[in-house]
Amino acid sequence: MKWSKKEDCWKVPVKCWADNLEESAMIQASNLAQLPCVFHHVALMPDSHCGFGMPIGGVIALKNCICPNAVGVDIGCGMTALKTDVHKEALSDMEIRRKWHTLVKSSIPFGEGNSHKEEQEWFGFDNFTVENEPYSIQPIDRKNMSSCGGGNHFDELQYDEDGYVWIMIHSGSRNLGHRIASHFHEVAKNLCNRFFVNLPDKDLAFLPVDDENGQKYINAMNFALDYAKENRRRMMDTSLDCLVSICSDIGVDCHVSWRYDIHHNYASLENHFGENVWIHRKGATSAKNCEFGIIPGSMGTSSYIVNGLGNKESFMSCSHGAGRIMSRSDASQKLTVAECDKAMDGIVCDRWNKVRRGKSKGLYDLSEAPGAYKDIDTVIANESDLVETIHKLKPLAVVKG
């Protein structure tokens, strides 16, 4: 932990593992520490940076309440990773990796607004029967199943310290999670207004869990978690099939030796410091004792497979990635194509598109380049009391949303 402090106006202290926390994220942490239902302390992971209402990379515990914006709009966003028995030498030719990249892109829709043309079947759709609500199942949710979101979402081919090839995917619940979060945030704001709750920030409106709307949110959130997990499972199956096909073409067998999946945008009822509380992990990963974790770096940098140490001070949590140091617009204005290309040297990937809207319109979109993010090795070093590293993975090819 880097520091812990408590201001007079705060109900609980803030504990931080991050270097040089930006002022806007600190203001958000201060707001969290003043919430009426906050419990024990606020924890900021080493990848923390400003989010919507609450810092991304933040963990809070609420008593008998749940806060939609402390989970986030991409409910169930998370990671899945698998290890194969293929050695990286079999994929040393960049053209072989480019074939995997091309196959994956032709099999999985990537990016905002992209989905399958046909609706996908899944038993979960039939088990979630909500009618006449903005978060009821829509055709777009069925078409989005087995597709990867935009921004920092990705599908990546990697190798570990022993040279074995891995596949790692980062994605979530797509449009469904956004609709659930947006709807229940408005419900929470109205409820807090009706009962004259003194909120430090209206974006932190919450719902009592024993309220009908609190239960509706929990049910919808849990469905979005299931949706996101199934979404990643299907994409991983497809990505693996692409690798198996390519390996077959070059006479190499491909088998899976390890596979795991985690969420990093969710809330769950857990026991901490002797109380049953709702732990909200927004851009944070559960890191209970001996629990596996997946912490990706930025595009072009290393990722980590870790083991949790069950540190109570972080509510048994750790970072979910590297964490931004530049906003999307800042990255496009401050980074250069040349330096971003150099950072991706030797890694198969698409090159940079131009920004379509906003103040960076017409510039190259460099918002996902390594220079826009914190150094992942520093982030991992800063949480050595939260996790121990098992594998360090380096990229071979990456498909971005």
Distance (Å, rounded) from C-alpha 190 to C-alpha 183?
11
Which contiguous run of DSSP H or E holds residue 141?
helix 139-144
Contact 97, 85 (CB under 8 A): no
Which contiguous run of DSSP H or E holds residue 262?
strand 256-263
CA-nearest of 173, 156, 172 to 303 is 156
Cα–Cα distances (Å) from 221 to 123, 253, 337, 347, in that order, read: 17, 40, 39, 36
Catalytic member of 170, 183, 320, 391:
320
Angle between helices 212-249 and 174-194 (to 10 degrees): 160
> Could you count the other beta carbons within 10 Å of the beta carbon of residue 36?
14
Q: Terminus-to-terminus CA distance in the chain, angstroms?
A: 33
Give the angle subtended at the CA of 308 by the CAs of 305 and 312, to the nearest 5°.
Answer: 150
Contact 282, 56 (CB under 8 A): yes
Pairing of strands 164-171, 78-87: antiparallel
Q: DSSP for 152-198?
A: T-EEEEEE-TT-EEEEEEEE--HHHHHHHHHHHHHHHHHHHHHTT--
Contact 48, 317 (CB under 8 A): no
Distance (Å, rounded) from C-alpha 239 to C-alpha 219?
30
Structure tokens at 116: 């399958």
Which strands form 164-171's sheet, in the order they lie side by side?
A: 256-263, 78-87, 164-171, 154-159, 387-400, 303-308, 292-295
Q: What is the 3-state secondary structure (H, E, C) of 206-224?
A: CEECCCHHHHHHHHHHHHH
Is 41 considered catalytic here? Answer: no
Catalytic machinery residues: 320
